[in-house]
Amino acid sequence: MFKYVLGLVMVSSLTLLAMGPTVNYDEQFDREEQVSISEDINQRLSGLKLSSLVFQEQVIHNSKGESIKKKIPVTTVLKGSKVVYINRLINRSSEEKKDIVVKNPIPSGAEYVVGSATCNGGCSIYFSTDGGVTFSKEEQSGKIYTNLEFYFSKIEAQQERRMGFRAIIK
C-alpha cells in the first residue's frame, strides 16, 4: 500500500520568553501560514494544507478569581519551558484522501514528553529514536524521541485533523 507523505518542518531554535496577548489557538489558526512541505506533492494530494503552531500553556486568573488554562502562541521561550506543538491538516478538496502520513521531527533543542502525542479524528502514531530511520508504535519511558509520524487511513473531503505533542526546551 502506497502512503502519501507530508513532511512537517518545525521551528528548530526557540530562544525567547513567551510573552504576549492571551489568544485562543483556534483563532490563531485563522491567521496561519503554510508550513514547508519536505516532498513534492503530486496531484493526488492537491487540496491538503498542513500548518503548525507552537504554544505555551499559561494559567490566567479571571475577574471572578477562577483559574483558566490558556494556550498562548510562542514568540520566544527559555530553557526548561514546556511547549505544545499543534499541527493542522485540512482536506480542502471535494475528494476523500487516503493513507496520509505526516512526518514530524522533534525540533532540535526540544525533548518530547512521553505520552503526550495525540490526534483527533483517529490516527495511528509512531515514534522514532533514530532520526526517523525506524518507527515503533510503542512508547517507552526513558527514551529520547527524535521523530513522530501521524498516519491517517482517510481524511474525508472538507475535513480537518489536528495532531500534536508536548515538549520541554532543553
pLDDT in tens, 69-98: 888 888 788 889 899 999 999 999 999 998
Predicted local confidence at residue 34, as pLDDT: 44
Task: Report if pTM > 0.85.
Answer: no
Predicted local confidence at residue 26, as pLDDT: 44
- Distance, in Å, from the CA atom of 38 to the CA atom of 9, rounded to the nearest integer, reads 7
Q: How many domains does the chain have?
A: 1
Give SS3 for 44: helix
State the CATH number of the domain containing residue 14.
2.60.40
Is 121 or 133 the better-scoring residue by pLDDT? 133
What are the residues whose beta carbons fall under 8 Å from the beta carbon of 74, sequence distance 6 or more? Answer: 14, 18, 54, 55, 56, 83
Q: Are 26 and 57 in contact (CB under 8 A)?
A: no
Handedness of CA 74, 57, 160, 150 (dihedral sign): positive
Give me the domain span that covers residue 32.
Answer: 4-169
Predicted local confidence at residue 96, as pLDDT: 92
